[in-house]
Amino acid sequence: MRTILHSDLNNFYASVECVYRPELKAVPMAVCGDPQARHGIVLAKNMLAKRAGVQTGEAVWQARQKCPGLVTVPPNHDLYLRFSRMMRQIYADYAWRIEPFGLDEAWLDVTGHAMEGRAIADELRLRAREELGVTLSVGVSFNKVFAKLGSDMKKPDATTVITPENFRQRVWPLPAGELLFVGPATRRRLAARNLRTIGDIARCPVESLASALGKNGEMLWRFANGLDRSPVMALDESAAVKSVGNSTTTPRDIRDERDARMVLMVLSESVAERLRAQGLRGRVVCLSVRDVQLRCFTVQRRLARDTALASEICGCAQALLREHYRWERPLRSLGVSVSALRSEDGDTQLTMFPDAPRERQYELEHAVEDIRRRFGHFSIQRASLIGSREFGAINPRDDHAIHPVGRYER
């Protein structure tokens, strides 16, 4: 039997802020994006703010209504990244298979370690507290799904052990929505069959789940019965890359195609730059669109060949937008990502005739990048962006947000 730990840094961003400003522990506090740039949502909150009902993801003004004394601080991503790396160094003393899930969560496979799972979990918590000044919740179990459930059961700074003997008592009474991959839509479909707890899913015949939810139904049934066998992947940060993307909520609404072109250009440039920095090229361009009523959709297209060129990525994104959006409403945010990635040193399909203009375009974009690296992002700009203060000032590369990347056997 395996021993899997899932470690979750409690209120990560907020806790790190409190390390540097201990006085913030005594007041309700939230780390929030910049409302002026319309990124004004709660990214993380401390215990006092949580108690007042403040939720991650809600707008700052909503949070203020619930909690008038809320102190907000701007995010400091580099600092969080540093803490996340230090935590991973601590994990590495106990396991070599460490699968990060975002900056603040990770699975560890400690099977065969001389110490027991619970003892390792307790030691991790002690070290996080003493060495970093933050707290962890750790779930210890025999598979990844229950380990994750365990880390959610008791917070903050606690260890929860789920064994083959006790999971029926501990896990089965929990609502179905607690199970990994059960979101609102799946929850509704389960509820329609009167499956409300994880135990209901486990006791339901697997065929019936499969007919209701397809392949995912089978997967959930396995999860609920403790039969998840997905391995903890030894991932380093760069190996996790499956796609490279950037999105932005613009400082003002995107009203027409011309606005959209500027934003897509900025995003595509950033994506292309990041692809090249990692020595990657991709084949599939994906566009995500969100309008002012927060309705959103994503569309994607496969290109004829791998690319890391901003001009090609942007051209494709523009075409997708033109074909799929009729401008019934202005847009609030746009995103561009490139997937189906391959290393640029790998085999590539050559064209019959040398494509000199394309090579020159690569050289040109490379030169622009070089100028930006040496003199700053805004030292060189596209002429099309010069007229626009709002859109030209977006710098997605440095205003980055980090999203969790998870891999699962389905």
Partner 1 sequence: MAHRAYVRVQVDVDEVGRVRPLRIYWEDGRRFEVDRLMDVRRAASTKVGGQGMRYTCRVLGREVYLFEDDGRWFVEARDVPAQSF
Which member of 133, 156, 231, 315 binds partner 1 (CB under 8 A)?
Answer: 133
Can residue 19 be called a binding residue for partner 1 (CB under 8 A)?
yes
Residue 312 bears catalytic tag: no
Can residue 21 be called a binding residue for partner 1 (CB under 8 A)?
yes
Binding positions for partner 1, 134-163, rule CB under 8 A: 134
For 119, the token pair is: 């003892």
- CB closer to partner 1, 82 vs 255: 82
Which member of 73, 132, 287, 321 binds partner 1 (CB under 8 A)?
Answer: 132
How near is the Cβ of 117 to partner 1 at its closest, in Å?
A: 24
Can residue 236 be called a binding residue for partner 1 (CB under 8 A)?
no
Which member of 61, 112, 130, 403 binds partner 1 (CB under 8 A)?
Answer: 130
Q: Taking the CB of residue 154, how many other CB atoms lie within 10 A of it?
A: 13
- Amino acid, res. 164: P
Which residue's entry shows tokens 């979101």? 183
DSSP assignments along 335-354, one per residue: EEEEEEEEETTS--PPPSS-
* Spatial separation of the C-alpha atoms in residues 158 and 152, rounded to whole Å: 10
Can residue 22 be called a binding residue for partner 1 (CB under 8 A)?
yes
* Spatial separation of the C-alpha atoms in residues 151 and 138, rounded to whole Å: 5
Can residue 201 be called a binding residue for partner 1 (CB under 8 A)?
no
Q: Could you tell me which residues are beta bridge partners of residue 339?
A: 243, 284
Angle, helix 12-20 to helix 77-91, in steps of 10 degrees:
100
The region of 17-25, 243-251, 335-343, 366-374 touching partner 1 under the rule CB under 8 A is 17-25
Query: What 3-state DSSP class applies to 40?
Result: coil
CB neighbour list of residue 329: distance below 8 Å, 6 or more residues apart: 291, 292, 293, 295
Can residue 18 be called a binding residue for partner 1 (CB under 8 A)?
yes
Angle, helix 356-375 to helix 310-324, in steps of 10 degrees:
100
Which member of 27, 53, 82, 242 binds partner 1 (CB under 8 A)?
Answer: 82
Question: For the stretch 30-61, what's the b/e string if a residue is b when 16 or more beta carbons lie within 10 angstroms of its beta carbon?
Answer: bbbbeeeebbbbbbbbbbbbbebebebebebe
- Amino acid, res. 128: A
Which member of 20, 96, 375, 378 binds partner 1 (CB under 8 A)?
Answer: 20
Can residue 85 be called a binding residue for partner 1 (CB under 8 A)?
no
* Of residues 406, 389, 379, 394, the one with CA closest to residue 336: 394
How near is the Cβ of 22 to partner 1 at its closest, in Å?
A: 4
Can residue 26 be called a binding residue for partner 1 (CB under 8 A)?
no
How near is the Cβ of 80 to partner 1 at its closest, in Å?
A: 12
How near is the Cβ of 158 to partner 1 at its closest, in Å?
A: 19
Binding positions for partner 1, 248-277, rule CB under 8 A: none
Q: Write down the catalytic residue from 99, 105, 269, 365.
A: 105
How near is the Cβ of 19 to partner 1 at its closest, in Å?
A: 5
Q: What is the DSSP letter of 55?
A: -
- CB closer to partner 1, 71 vs 140: 71
How near is the Cβ of 132 to partner 1 at its closest, in Å?
A: 6
305 and 349 in contact (C-beta within 8 Å)? yes
For 356, the token pair is: 């000199």
The CA-atom distances, in angstroms, between 294 and each of 60, 185, 254 are 17, 18, 13
Can residue 398 be called a binding residue for partner 1 (CB under 8 A)?
no
The region of 6-14, 79-87, 155-163, 272-280 touching partner 1 under the rule CB under 8 A is 79-87
Binding site for partner 1 (CB under 8 A): 18-22, 82-83, 86, 129-134
Active site residues: 105
